[in-house]
A and B are shown apart, each in its own frame.
Chain A
Amino acid sequence: MQASSVEIRKVNKFYGPFHALKDIDLSIPPGKVTCLIGPSGSGKSTLLRCMNFLEEYDSGEVRIDGQLIGYDAPGKRMSGRKLREMRRSIGMVFQQFNLWPHMTAHENVAEGLIRVRGLSKADAMTRAADALAKVGLADKMGNHPSRLSGGQQQRVAIARAIAMEPKLMLFDEPTSALDPELVGEVLNVMKTLASEGMTMVVVTHEMGFAAHVADQVAFLEKGELVDVDTPSGILHHPKDARIQSFLRTYHERNSF
């Protein structure tokens, strides 16, 4: 599998007067899993969404395999066609799944292959079936999203993304909307993907996943990248007081 790298340099993002991302520098190495953690409102989702330009950053650079995304040159917007070209190889999974409710699971996965990759309907349906089998949903292909559990819906959403054969996968809190007992099945699919050498960037509150699967963990707070380190460096030996306090709150909430 080809895997992309992401280079983020001095990225700033404003919502009106609100400074959502402050001079973010971050390197996402190819074939590795990077988790973005931090309190809500810290800018981690915004940063993730800058990587496929769903969110426009105001200054700085986000480069996918060296190519600037969203802009041809600083300040000069990229054409829609070129941006779509780049997005083809970037998969994204959302907190709310965002499956299309008027299509079956099978059609949800095949749609992009037909419309974006230009596959024939028959080829797209075969490839979609393979992708669904990979996430363990071969027997649910004909179901509409409303007839699937949250965990199954999120696995369909992952299948929809991986069917496009991306070189980079972005996960925006993929398990936050799930009932606790359904989190595991989604994380397992993500672990498989990681073991196959996919570059993954995961915004998550699952510290267990970050500790066991991530190669690096970045901690954000109030739009600042506080630290990037190995999972154990961030989670077990945090140097910054803000990370220590975040983890303390996390442990208090999760202990019984």
Chain B
Amino acid sequence: MFSIPVFFESFGPLLWAARYTLLISFLGIGLGLILGALICAARLSPYAILRRFAAVWVSFLRGVPLLVQLLVFYYALPVIGLDVPAFVAAIVTVGICASAYISEIWRGAINALPRGQSEAAIAIGMSPRDVWSRVVLPQAVSLSLPALINELILLVKASSLVSVVGILEITRSSQAQAATTFRPLEVYLAAACIYLMINLCLAALGRYLEHRTTV
């Protein structure tokens, strides 16, 4: 029998655990946006060595599962003498992994802009910096918003993987509760509801931002 009280009772600890899910996703995408911008800049730079580096970065990080990256990173850090908390290791790994996808999202958005957009700016004598900050980036950011929100939603779900390094986020918390209550269905269903609520909110945020930036 499905126990409705157990289902509702499991929300409390799971919502508390959701703070880790949110922190890891948001800090992860924050780091991913910064690193992704750098990688994208390297990919579009006139220097072959930077382009090569960015291409290798992207293909390696996209080619290895996040779960494996987490484990490698978590166990590699102490080997090179860095003792960082699991939480930090998780954010860094998620951010690095996201940077590979985000740099490609931005590269696509920038390449999607017609050449004439920057040519018009160059023709009136704008400096390269102004061409980027006033013409290319504002349009690239708004073009990339749907894909970035998509990436953020993927990260929220992927953050469940950091349970393997012992962080008590939603998924690990639900596993623990399932083990103590012997009511896995109720607990996991509650966890599913929380993930869904978070991601519905993010999707709504995405629609709002898109609406604001579309002309």
Taking beta carbons and an 8 Å cutoff, which residues of A are in contact with B? 52, 54, 80, 84-85, 87-88, 90-92, 94, 96, 98-102, 111-112, 115-116, 144-146, 157, 160-161, 164
Chain A hits for B116, CB < 8 A = 94, 96, 98
A99 and B116 CA atoms in complex are apart in Å by 9
A-B contact pairs, 24 of them (CB 8 A): A52-B123, A54-B119, A80-B127, A80-B128, A84-B125, A84-B126, A84-B127, A87-B124, A88-B125, A92-B123, A96-B116, A98-B119, A98-B120, A99-B120, A100-B134, A100-B135, A101-B215, A111-B134, A112-B126, A116-B126, A116-B130, A157-B120, A164-B124, A164-B125
A99 and B139 CA atoms in complex are apart in Å by 12
- B125 touches which one: A87, A94, A96 (CB < 8 A)? A87
Within 8 A of A (CB), among B80-104: none
- A115 touches which one: B114, B120, B130 (CB < 8 A)? B130
Task: Using CB atoms, name the residue of chain A closest to B131.
Answer: A115
Give the shortest distance, in Å, between A194 (CB) and chain B (any CB): 20
Say yes or no: is B138 at the interface (Cβ < 8 Å to chain A): yes
- A87 touches which one: B122, B128, B130, B213 (CB < 8 A)? B122
**Chain B residue total in the interface (Cβ 8 A):** 21
Within 8 A of A (CB), among B110-153: 114, 116-117, 119-128, 130, 134-135, 138-139, 142
Q: How many A-B residue pairs have CB under 8 A?
A: 67
Chain A hits for B126, CB < 8 A = 84, 112, 115-116
Chain B hits for A92, CB < 8 A = 120, 123-124
Give the shortest distance, in Å, between A159 (CB) and chain B (any CB): 12
Contact with A along B134-177 (1 / 0, CB 8 A): 11001100100000000000000000000000000000000000
A-B contacts besides A54-B122, A115-B126, A116-B125, 13 pairs, CB < 8 Å: A54-B119, A87-B123, A88-B125, A91-B123, A91-B124, A98-B117, A100-B120, A100-B135, A115-B134, A116-B130, A145-B215, A146-B215, A164-B124
Enumerate the 5 nearest inter-chain pairs by beta-carbon distance, A residue then B residue, closest first: A98-B120, A98-B116, A112-B124, A92-B123, A88-B125
